[in-house]
Amino acid sequence: MTDAVLARVYKQSDLDILAKEASIPIVNGLSDLYHPIQILADYLTLQEHYGSLKGLTLSWIGDGNNILHSIMMSAAKFGMHLQVATPKGYEPDPRITKLAEQYAKENDTKLSLTNDPLEAARGGNVLITDTWISMGQEEEKKRRLQAFQGYQVTMKTAKVAASDWTFLHCLPRKPEEVDDEVFYSPRSLVFPEAENRKWTIMAVMVSLLTDYSPQLQKPKF
């Protein structure tokens, strides 16, 4: 009855079953393991701002969640370095880390994981964070807020970043994750990032459902 399905689910295994049984394209709109369409919007935003992705250093400060997993699975392939800081006990999935290390080696990029937010931010072009409490984790709120103390992105964080630093957050944002000074600063790309969700979703649909080929020269990543 449809030409494609974009599914937001809790379990990645539900998407795997859909993809296995369906005769039409299945797009991951969000799962507990990955959020690839968000990362497409993020990379388009960075491509627009910096002109190129290659050589950028991404600094992730926050939870080892689905957004981070999608960045880890893709950053090296675009020539980007990745510095990750998560609290102890909230690290990314070890299976994803193993794959990310392999991709970094294959593409001659750097990947580092730490529990120190400032270490991850040091020299970073792009400071990135996300919600500390994802769908289905509401009961963990008190424990998570305590565990993430010191992980708020502030101008103190930005001071150790690269001189051309920018900030990304896929929204909705809470003040404990990033303060107003950074969130509403000219360095914050969160609103172009939000708009680019529209264009990248449309691009995914067009590329899957038509024989469209780009009219413009493919950008250099």
Q: Which residues are marked as active site?
A: 170
Do residues 171 and 194 make contact, with C-beta atoms less than 8 angstroms apart?
yes
Q: What is the DSSP code string of 119-179?
A: HHHTT-SEEEE--SS-TT-GGGHHHHHHHTTT--B-HHHHHTS-TT-EEEE-S---TTTB-
- The Cα 115–Cα 180 span in angstroms is 24
Minimal CA–CA distance to 147: which of 63, 74, 40? 63
